[in-house]
Amino acid sequence: MLNVSNTESDSDGALRAGADGCLLKDMEPEEIVSQLNRAVQGHIVLSDSASQLIARSLRDEANPKTSDKAGLTARETQILNLVAHGLRNKLIAREPGIVEGTVKIHLKHRLRKLSLRSRVEAVVWAAEHLGQ
């Protein structure tokens, strides 16, 4: 697809619909010809900006928008809320009356379910999706 639009929905939608690539009309003519030749040879071709947009879209898609969609248990949601309030594992364990090791297990499960890599990302997710 040769496109003038540089939006995530256009690039993502075109590829999902079967396009062999997404190039922007503002590319240099020689680069467009080179990329079109690659597409003819069976390669998927993307402009740099389209690559960035699609990568962001995939990353956002990987992160569930609600705790229900993520399959979080009530305990994991409770612990996520406590983490979002800045509590350390030891203090989090006191609230529901569990041991610190159990808190670590809940945190590990929560990170995996939400496709997050760190406690900081979990706090940001909680702020955005749980109203923390």
Q: 73 and 19: one domain?
A: no
pLDDT at 131: 64
Same domain, 71 and 125: yes
- Examine the domain organization and report whether 122 and 71 are in the same domain: yes
- The pLDDT score that the predictor gives to residue 66 is 61
pLDDT at 30: 92
- List, in order, residues 6 or more apart from 106 with CB less than 8 Å away: 75, 76, 79
Among 40, 62, 84, the domain boundary falls at: 62
pLDDT of residue 7: 61
Residue ranges, the chain, pLDDT below 50: none
Name the pTM for this structure.
0.47
Query: Residue 47: what pLDDT?
Result: 81
CATH number of the domain at 101, please: 1.10.10.10
| DSSP run (H or E) holding 29 | helix 29-40
Domains of the chain: total = 2
pLDDT at 129: 78
